[in-house]
Amino acid sequence: MSKKTFIFVVTTVVMSFFAAAVLFAGTTVQDTFKMESKEYKTRKYNSATLTHKKHVEEYKANCGECHHDANGKPLNDIKTGENVQKCIECHKIPSRKPKKKKGEPKLTDEQRRAYHAEALHDNCKVCHKVFNKKVKKETGKKGKAPTSCNKCHPGGKIK
């Protein structure tokens, strides 16, 4: 075997290891997808779409601005093949928080974020608000990151 062929074979073997690792659930992600967690039994709004790749590449969001570990610590350098958990594995209740009844104590932020949609809204909307504020300050124009219901949920409420 020539040196060139040897390097080729080694590279192919190494690359197929990575490819195999990526095939396991939770380690790959589509460039763009509808946020439609299957755990929801009912849905009130048309589903939001996340341009995952664009958020990373164009909007320069770090993995750790959305993904974190069981202590909420940002996962900034997720490696190829690593299992990335779905938000609902920890923010477990598939809905928004229930309406507060009279006399009931207010939920803490953490209790509120046990509801999946609250955790997602906190994540998506907080960053969008901060971004738009920065754009406004720097350019005087309105930023384009969506913060209103119908901008994320196209068509708003399901009729």
Give the residues lining the site for ligand HEC (CB under 6 A): 26-29, 35-37, 40, 43-45, 48-52, 54-56, 59, 61, 63, 65-72, 78, 84-91, 95-96, 109-110, 113, 117, 119-125, 127-128, 131, 144-149, 152-153
By beta-carbon proximity to ligand HEC, the closer residue of 9 and 26 is 26
Minimum Å distance from CB 14 to ligand HEC? 20
Shortest approach of ligand HEC to residue 136 CB, angstroms? 12
User: Are residues 28 and 87 in contact, defined by beta-carbon separation less than 8 angstroms?
Assistant: no
In Å, how far from its chain's centre is CA 92? 15
For residue 41, count CB atoms less than 10 angstroms from its CB and return exposed for 0-12, middle for 13-18, buried for 19 or more.
exposed
Buried b vs exposed e over 68-80: b needs ≥16 C-beta within 10 Å?
beeeeeebeeeee
To ligand HEC, the closest distance from the beta carbon of 4 in angstroms equals: 33
Closer of 9 and 57 to ligand HEC (Cβ): 57
